[in-house]
Amino acid sequence: MRLVVVAHGTRQLLGNAVASIIAKRAGRVLGMESKAAYVELCEPLLTDVLADCQPSVVVPLLLSTGYHIKVDLPQAAEGLPVAMGRALGPDPLLASAQVSRLVTVGADPGQPVVLVAAGSNDPSARADIAAAGLMLEKAWGGPVRVATVSGSGAPAIDQVVRPGDAVSPYLLAPGFFSDLVRSRASAAGAEIVADVIGPHPDVIELVVRRAAALLAEERSAQAG
């Protein structure tokens, strides 16, 4: 059995490296072979990784439920010895990692924060993003508003960010969306824009927990 983490993929090498780092660190903790794969824009694609039919637990590095979680990933795993996990977010561990990124760039406790997600037209994804905002508000201990780069269900960055706000990108890796978040938030008057969540220790812990739960489910199914 091996661990496969699957990210969306980006044309930026640094962004794709995040998935590789997470895979290696989580695999080391779990004591199992690990590999990073991508939905699109980068190789190896998940379909290619799973083509060898090796038993795998797959932990998506996608922060909300949407088309990839509902359609692309199940199709890639169909008929294969694969245990597929759910979207990585929302989760309190991600909120904890966001707080860490905010503190690192000098955000003050209680300072108003805007969580900015990529956005989606999928109602499930919109609900996940709203939940992520509430989790960050609880972890941060101050007001958190939500904006998106695209999609529906949440206002755009320039409609939400106010002068003096701190901005927390609800993004796992640097890339096209993180560049947009930084430029648009700064233009709207944000005082601070934190880094993306990245391969934070809390993210590694979350991936390990998700993989361990999938492994336990597999053992239980085999025993039954």
Contact 36/19 with Cβ under 8 angstroms? yes
- Other C-beta atoms closer than 10 Å to the C-beta of 67 total 14
Q: What is the pLDDT of residue 6?
A: 98
Helix 92-104 and helix 123-140: axis angle, to 10°? Answer: 60
Residue-wise pLDDT tens for the chain (224 aa)?
999 999 998 877 788 999 999 999 999 999 999 999 999 989 999 999 999 999 999 999 999 998 889 999 999 999 999 999 999 999 999 999 999 999 999 999 889 999 999 998 899 999 999 999 999 999 999 999 999 998 777 899 999 999 999 999 999 999 999 999 999 999 999 999 999 999 999 999 999 999 999 999 988 877 76
Range list of H helices, the chain: 13-30, 46-50, 67, 73-77, 92-104, 123-140, 157-160, 176-187, 201-223
> How far apart are the C-alpha atoms of 88 and 211, rounded to whole Å?
11
Q: Which residue has the tokens 């700064």?
A: 186
Contact 114/160 with Cβ under 8 angstroms? yes
Q: What is the pLDDT of residue 153?
A: 72
Contacts with 56 (C-beta within 8 Å, 6 or more apart), sequence order = 1, 2, 3, 4, 50, 80, 81, 82, 83
Range list of H helices, 11-156: 13-30, 46-50, 67, 73-77, 92-104, 123-140
Indicate the pairing of strand 82-84 with strand 34-38.
unpaired
Residue-wise pLDDT tens digits, 30-73:
999 999 999 998 999 999 999 999 999 999 999 999 888 999 99
Q: What is the pLDDT of residue 218?
A: 85
Q: What's the distance, Cα to Cα, between the start and end of the chain in Å?
A: 19
Radius of gyration for the chain, computed over Cα atoms and rounded to the nearest angstrom: 17
Q: What is the pLDDT of residue 224?
A: 64
